[in-house]
Chains A and B, each alone.
Chain A
Amino acid sequence: MRYAMAIDTKKCVGCSDCVVACQTENEVPIGYCRDWIVEVTDGTYPELELEIRSERCNHCDNSPCVRCCPTGASHYSDGGSVLVTHNKCIGCGACVSSCPYDARYSHPKGYVDKCTFCNHRVKKGQQPACVSVCPTRCMYFGDLEDPNSEVSKIMKLRKYKTLAPEAGTKPQVFYLI
């Protein structure tokens, strides 16, 4: 099993519904976010191109955060999701520094926090909160190793990219282009 997410940059309108859904579902402290919207404008006026992305932890296959963690609090869970065990985390910040996507932050309670691919919902057979609320249905979540999963199907049809592949992390959140 390999959980992954595909996000359609052609369909995303940047409404931030995924951000609010995540903050509500996961009780993210006020002022912080586990996922966020990025708008990239390329080119010179009048020839401009806009790409909107909903970004989050990439649940990398080769996660620098898991490698750098001195206590093993950051670990790979079922399906390759990268999770943090709160009572093992000492709050040293090594994983925060090691993440090329800056997807982690220090929770006011002290431990490090980040996107969990809504592990608690996925276990119950539900979609992650962000995926479930998306009004344009631009997000696809599922098992990459299952050829019939939504994410596998859409990735067969479309071209995609990952963020900062040169960092060598093998990210598992794919952006359809």
Chain B
Amino acid sequence: MKEEIIVSGRMNLNIDPVLHIWHWQIPLYLFLGGLAAGIMFFAALYTIQGKEKQYQTAVKWSMFLVPIFIVLGLLMLLLDLKHKLYFWQLYTVIRLQSPMSWGAWTLMIVTPIALLWCLMYIRDLLDLWKGKFKLTNGLIEFAYKKLDRYKWIDTFIAFLYKYRKVMAWLMIFYAVILGIYTGILLSAFNARPLWNTSILGPLFMVSGFSTAAALIMWMSKDYNEKKAFGRIDLILIATEVFFIIHMFMGFLASTEVQIEAARLFLGGEFTAVFWVFVVGIGLVIPALLESLKLYGFKIPVFLPAFMILLGGLMFRFIMVEAGQVTRYLY
């Protein structure tokens, strides 16, 4: 039997014994990015289909979370940078070869679109919240006053509303790009065999959309909307399972380093966390609960929704962590 013992004198911080250059910030950023992309996708989709009345949570209310998610995500990205004061260098060039570069630019485009969308429905939000909470009453009064004082805002909102379908088409396009980007960011690195699979783009997008559908389902107060998003989630979960199986099939049919990468999940150190948290709690159990619900069982909505969100978050943490363990040499 051939044996090999390797001794290396290198002990660079965060590089050895295994790469650990990306910590908790990146998976959280990918999670928030996927969630934002999913919410924008559904909001745009139902606007294009003209179903704003039926799907109010998807089109209006959940969209108010998107700018918050994006800002939080960008904050995570900033926290991850080691040369923080130079972050603006990202916006001095567009490098199409580098996913991180065009991802940063995509966020730059997506954020104003999301903010304009929120502005479009600001009066609806104010009407909804009026007199609901003592704490925010003053703020809402203030917002009303400003809106009444500056009439051009209403004119602008009316203009936005008139062209909302154009905005929706733009948003659906960039939502897909943002969703795929969260996966491509990792799959561009051929040095990390676990990440180096083109299915990671679609997989992360579907997973992001599924977490968004879960969140909308959780937020919604409308029975039909809840039911519709429960169904959407079922389809997305099935797609995700299909992609995960394909990912492993691809790995096992590939080169030695990718077979090693797959082994991390098939008996290796990430087996338990992956199959319990991602596949079990994140996909299979919520899918079962959703199916039971369709047959009339009474199941609280937060249960499957929370599980899907947790599963999505865990999936990103595990992929980022495990990917850094896989390598070509030693």
Contacts and interface: CB of A to CB of B under 8 A. Distances in A.
A165 B154 CA distance: 62
A70 B98 contact: yes
A73 interface: yes
Interface string A21-54: 0000000000111001111111110000000000
Interface of chain B: mostly helix, strand, loop or mixed: loop
Nearest to B10: A36
Interface stretch (B79-87, B131-139, B141-149, B277-285): B79-87
B9 A38 contact: yes
B191 A70 contact: no
Nearest to B99: A68
B80 A40 contact: no
Interface stretch (B13-21, B116-124, B163-171, B243-251): B13-21
A87 B86 CA distance: 7
B89 interface: yes
Contact of B95 (A19, A38, A69): A69
B108 to A, nearest CB: 12
Interface residues of A, number: 50
Given A44-B3, A98-B188, A101-B329, A92 B19 contact: no
A167 interface: yes
Given A31-B13, A87-B86, A38 B98 contact: no
Interface stretch (A1-9, A104-112, A126-134, A137-145): A104-112
B83 A166 contact: no
**Minimum-distance CB pairs A-B, first 6:** A91-B82, A91-B83, A110-B83, A36-B10, A70-B101, A100-B191
18 contacts: A32-B13, A38-B6, A39-B8, A41-B3, A70-B95, A70-B100, A88-B86, A90-B89, A90-B90, A96-B19, A97-B21, A97-B192, A100-B329, A104-B15, A106-B82, A110-B84, A110-B86, A167-B328
Given A102-B327, A110-B84, 17 more contacts: A19-B9, A68-B100, A69-B95, A70-B104, A73-B89, A88-B86, A89-B89, A90-B83, A90-B89, A92-B77, A94-B98, A96-B19, A98-B189, A102-B329, A106-B21, A166-B257, A167-B191
